[in-house]
Structure 1
Amino acid sequence: MARYIFITGGVVSSLGKGLASAALGALLQARGFTVRLRKLDPYLNVDPGTMSPFEHGEVFVTDDGAETDLDLGHYERFTGVSARQSDSISSGRIYSNVLEKERRGEYLGKTIQVIPHVTNEIKQFLATGDDEVDFMLCEIGGTVGDIEGLPFFEAIRQFIHERPRGECILMHLTLLPYLAASGELKTKPTQHSVKELQSIGLAPDVLVCRSEHPIPEKERAKIALFCNVRLDAVIPAYDLKSIYEAPLAYHRAGLDQAVLNAFQISPAPRPDLTRWEDVIDRLTHTDGEVKIAIVGKYTQLEDAYKSIAEALTHGGMAHRVRVRSDWIAAEDLEAKDGEHLLDGYHGIIVPGGFGERGTEGMITAAKYAREKDVPYLGICLGMQVAVIEAARNLAGIADAGSEEFDHEAGKARFTPIVYHLKEWVQGNYKVQRTLHDDKGGTMRLGAYTAVLKPGSRISQVYDDATEIEDRHRHRYEVDSRYIPDLEKAGLSFSGMSPDGRLPEAIEYPDHSWFIGVQAHPELKSKPFQPAPLFASFIGAAKEGARLV
């Protein structure tokens, strides 16, 4: 049976619960324990799949096809444990499950209520797989007191009450604001946040206090006294230059030891922090800088491309270079002479996205990279626009475009080099979709195999592998009927689906480094195991910057 750590937040949102959870998971691993991390989100969306990137940041996709909160990306990057569908739940999913059971008559005519039906559904989710690991870390989104989160807090209260004593603890993150006028940190918001928790039957065992200033010992003692927490369980959390400093910083602050003390695990195994010391060494001791342009649709919010930003950092670690990423709005490249915004960069990335907006700017970026011999990595839509660019400017299909763009306009304007995917094979099953299906969960989602052309650059990137597996999230595909004409024009289709129907990777053999992939390799990148494509891309950028 797993021990449970519930992570909650108070005072304000965006305190870093996801990062603290991921760092704690990494520290428990460093002490020899096995972990799994989960996210409970109170919003009523079934999942983040249909949310705007401006609303919720990126959607993180698991191997088994779940569209989840970006915090699951933190969990994977810090622990290396692949997330799955059972690691992410929302109020929308819980209520949907309950109502489906009610329609099937599973409640035998009972009146359906939050207690016990909704809370039982949450507890069932919490208990899934608890015999697989030593520790289950469960982060609850939002802040204590939010009306949406009350069923989750009540379910956790019941869950803790029903488990054997000593199997569950609660870790609460709060903010200690600094008032410049009085020159002091204020502990009252933390006290009120803990009081709010206590009013619903929960009491924290460990307090993590975010602060921009050092927390004096007398203030820690005050917090411990008024919040009924041991002094050594009041953990300061200060701002860091890099999120990858978090495991070592939290270890120095005593977080992992405080958690083990709360579980009365003594003597505690000594931690092996070699992995994280190496990560920080690679991050801080670098030999120069490469400049990467990320040409995207959602550049106003960096969290919309969180995994790409982190994968670039990991690629830089692999080559001991700093990666300076500049976010360039694709629409800005559509202006006259807009391509000059790309001058001076050592590499160009065009990431995924949906809809027509900005796509002409992305096509300009692909054309610029091809003609100027600048390393180019196209991901999902970034691969598709590179194919469209090749069709227009190399294969002589002047009106090459995508069904997605025509669908938005309501009329045909393009030769559809990219088409809406209506059926594909997933395992042993054929999946079928139409344009009129619901939007949520209807894409090609999760891990799929790509068969690589022997001797191709992408095969070399993956150590001469003939097959790779990466995660997908898209509903449009490059039409394989155009492959012969495009290959005659110089574009090589170096990766295909196992049945040979769906293009998975493209490249220009005579280019210094130009690869497009339909999948999202950034989702599996980790600081101690960079995604091969990102590591190779940064290596090519490093060569272009003459740092080798």
Structure 2
Amino acid sequence: MARYIFITGGVVSSLGKGLTSAALGALLQARGYSVRLRKLDPYLNVDPGTMSPFEHGEVFVTDDGAETDLDLGHYERFTGVAARRTDSVSSGRIYSNVLEKERRGDYLGKTIQVIPHVTNEIKDFLAIGDDEVDFQLCEIGGTVGDIEGLPFFEAIRQFAQDRPAGECIFIHLTLLPWIAAAGELKTKPTQHSVKELRAIGIAPDILVCRAEHPIPAKERAKLALFCNVRPERVIAALDLKSIYEAPLAYHAEGLDQAVLDAFRISPAPRPDLRKWQEVAERVNNPDGEVRIAIVGKYTQLEDAYKSINEALTHGGIANRVRVRVEWIDAEIFERGDPSPHLEGFHGILVPGGFGERGTEGKINAARFARERKIPYLGICLGMQMAVIEAARNLAGVRDAGSEEFDHEAGARRFTPVIYHMKEWLEGDRKVTRSETDDKGGTMRLGAYEAVLAEDSRAAQIYGTTRISERHRHRYEVDIAFREKLEKHGVRFSGLSPDGKLPEIMEIPDHPWFIGVQFHPELKSKPFDPHPLFRSFVKAAVEQSRLV
């Protein structure tokens, strides 16, 4: 049976529970243990798939087609363990399951209440895969004291009570604010946060304290005394140059040892941190720098493109360069010349997105990259915009566009080279969709295979002709335009196994121009960069030598 580590947060949100969980998972792996990481979110949405990126940041997609919180991306990037549908749950999903059971009559006419029915549903979720790994790390979203999080806190309290003694521990992440006028860190917010947690019935075993400055011994002793934890289990979490220094920093602070001590695991296996030392060395000692422009519509919130940003960093690690990302709102050159905004970049990336806003700017960015011979990577919508650009300016389809935009406008304005997917194969099963379906969970989601042309750049980059990548889209390039576009220099070098869905487009007569219908950024890791991002950054390095 697995041992359980519950990670909670206090004082303020956005302290980095996800990063702490991921780094701790990596440290336990470094000591030879198997881990699984999970996220329990208090919001009432069934999943984040229908939430605006401005509300929730990126939607991370798993191989089995779940739309999840972006923290699962951290978990995968740090541990290499592929997340699953059963690694993420929200209040909305929990309540939905409970109500479905009630309508079926599963509760035999009982009055349905938060305790025990909702808390039991949460506990059942926690117990999934109990015998698969050595440690289950479960992050509770939100902040202690939030009313919507109370069922989750009660559930983990009960869960720990139900398990044999010593099988569950609690880590509480808080903030030690720095008061500049007084010149000191203040411990009182953390004391109050722990008091709130203890009122629920949970006593933290380890405190992880975010701080701008090192925590003096006096403050550590005060926290240990008033929060009832041992001094060596007060762990400082200071700001870092790179998130990929977190495993080394937490190890230096003794977090992994504190966890093993809390579980009374002795003697503890020695950690092998060479992988993380190599990553940190490459991040902190690059041989050069490249500038990449991300042309998108959610540029005000970098978390909207979290995995893309990290995958570019991984490409930089592979090529020993620092990737300096600059975010450019596609709307600013929807009808103007993009040159003043894109001159001087060594690569241009157009990410995914939904809706028509900003698309003409993305099309202009694709044209600029194609004509100026600048490396271009289009992801999902970014590939579709590159295809529309090529259809308009190479193949002569002047009014080329997407059904998505006509659907929004309510009238036909374009010749659609991008159409709403109505059916596709998921293994041997045919999936059908219509434009009137519910929005949530109805896209082409999760891992699908693609077959690459043997002599293509894509096959050269991947080193194989058969790949599996994660998708999240409901519009697709119309294969009927393939012949017309290929006559004018565009090549569809990757197709679905049945040959009906274009997965990769490239322009052979260009230093590096590739569009993909899937999301390669979701599978990239610092110690195993995705081949496309490795190659894209390498092309940007070569471009930098020409500028």
TM-score, normalised to structure 2's length?
Answer: 0.99
CA contact (8 A) 1:449 1:469 kept: yes
Question: What is the CA–CA distance in structure 2 between the aligned matches of 1:215 and 1:120, rounded to whole Å?
Answer: 39
SS of 1:511 mapped into structure 2: coil
- Contact 2:338–2:368 at 8 Å: present in 1 too? no
Match of 2:333 in 1: 333
Q: Is the 8 A contact 1:169 1:262 kept in 2?
A: yes
Match of 1:31 in 2: 31
- Specify the alignment match of 2:358 in structure 1: 358
Equivalent in the alignment of 1:312: 312
- 1:49 maps to 49
Q: Which digits, 9 at most, give the CA deviation of each residue in 1:503-537, with x for residues without a partner?
A: 00000111110000000000000000000000000
Q: How big is the shift at 1:339?
A: 3.2
How many angstroms does 1:332 deviate by?
A: 1.0
Inter-partner Cα distance in structure 2 for 1:140 and 1:286: 36
Amino acid at match of 1:231: P
Matched, 1:7 2:3: no
**Rounded Cα–Cα distance in structure 2 between residues aligned with 1:114 and 1:509:** 59
1:407 maps to a residue whose letter is H
- C-alpha deviation, 1:282, in angstroms: 1.0
State the SS of the aligned residue for 1:324: strand
Structure 1 CA distance, aligned partners of 2:184 and 2:105? 59
Distance in 2 between the 1:337 and 1:484 partners?
Answer: 30
2:116 and 2:466 map into 1 onto residues whose CA distance is: 48
| Farther off after superposition, 199-208 or 284-293 | 284-293
Is residue 335–residue 360 contact of structure 2 (8 Å, CA) maintained in 1? no
Give how far 1:113 is off: 0.5
The Cα shift of 1:340 comes to 2.6
Residue 167, structure 1, aligned to residue 167, structure 2: yes
Partner of 1:219: 219
Which residue of structure 1 aligns with residue 268 of structure 2?
268
What letter matches 2:340 in structure 1?
H
CA-to-aligned-CA distance 1:277-327 (integer Å, 9 cap, x gap): 000111112111111010011111000000000000000010101101110
Question: Partner letter of residue 21 of structure 2?
Answer: S
Give 1:451's aligned residue. 451
Per-residue CA shift, 1:472-527, capped at 9, x if unaligned? 00000000001000000110000000011000000011111000000000000000
Aligned twin of 2:183: 183
C-alpha displacement of 1:179: 1.3
Q: Structure 2: how far apart are the matches of 1:287 and 1:195? A: 49
CA distance in 2, matches of 1:339, 1:52: 30
* Partner SS for 1:500: coil
Aligned pair count reads: 547
Q: Determine if contact 1:333/1:339 at 8 Å carries over to the other structure.
A: no
Letter in 1 for 2:499: G
Q: Which residue of 2 aligns with 1:17?
A: 17
> Which amino acid letter does the alignment assign opposite residue 103 of structure 1?
R
CA RMSD of aligned residues (A): 0.9
Match of 2:70?
70
> AA paired with 2:267?
P
Pairing 1:140-539 to 2, within 5 Å after superposition: 140-463=140-463, 465-539=464-538
Structure 1 residue 547: Cα displacement: 8.6
Q: For the residues of structure 1 that align with 2:339 and 2:443, how far apart are their CA atoms?
A: 32
SS of the residue 1:130 aligns to: coil
Aligned partners of 1:183, 1:373: CA distance in 2, in Å? 53
- 1:185-229, CA deviations, whole angstroms, 9 ceiling, x for partnerless residues? 111111111010110110000000111011110110110011110
Aligned to 1:377, the other structure's residue is in SS state: strand
> 1:323-364 CA deviation, whole Å, 9 max, x = no partner?
011101001122422333111111000000000000000000
One-letter identity of the residue aligned with 1:162: D
Corresponding residue number in structure 2 for 1:89: 89
Distance in 2 between the 1:187 and 1:50 partners?
39
Which residue number corresponds to residue 546 of structure 1? 545
Distance in 2, matches of 1:180 and 1:501, equals: 62
| Residue in 1 that maps onto 2:129 | 129
Question: Aligned letter for 2:39?
Answer: K
CA contact (8 A) 1:287 1:547 kept: no
Alignment partners' CA distance in 2, 1:192 and 1:276: 35
- SS of residue in 1 equivalent to 2:229: coil
1:40 partner letter: L
Q: Residue type of the partner of 2:296?
A: G
Q: What is the identity, as a one-letter code, of the residue corresponding to 1:431?
A: V
Secondary structure of residue in 2 paired with 1:448: strand
Deviations 1:5-47, CA, capped at 9 Å, x for gaps: 0000000000100000000000000000000000000000000
Structure 2 SS opposite 1:498: coil
Secondary structure (helix, strand or coil) at the match of 1:106 reads coil
**How high is the TM-score relative to the length of structure 1?**
0.99
Match of 1:108 in 2: 108
Which letter maps to 1:141? G
Is the 1:339–1:364 contact (alpha carbons within 8 Å) kept by the matching residues of 2?
Answer: no
The one-character-per-residue Cα deviations of 1:91-146 (angstroms, maximum 9, x if unpaired) are 00000000001111111111110011100000000000010000000000000010
Amino acid in the other structure paired with 1:197? L
Paired residue secondary structure (2:438): coil
Runs of 4+ with >6 A deviation: none
Aligned-partner Cα distance in 2 for 1:184–1:360: 51
SS of the aligned residue for 2:298 comes to coil
Gaps of 5+ in 2: none
Alignment deviations for residues 237-293 of structure 1 (CA, whole Å, 9 cap, x no partner): 100110001000000000000000000000100000000000011111211111101
Measure, in 2, the Cα distance between the counterparts of 1:505 and 1:336.
28
The structure-2 alpha-carbon separation of the partners of 1:154 and 1:547, relative to structure 1 and needing over 3 Å to count, comes to farther
Q: Distance in 2 between matches of 1:188 and 1:364?
A: 53
Q: What's the secondary structure of 2:21's corresponding residue?
A: helix
Distance 1:97 1:485 in 2: 49
- Percent of aligned positions with the same letter in both sequences? 78
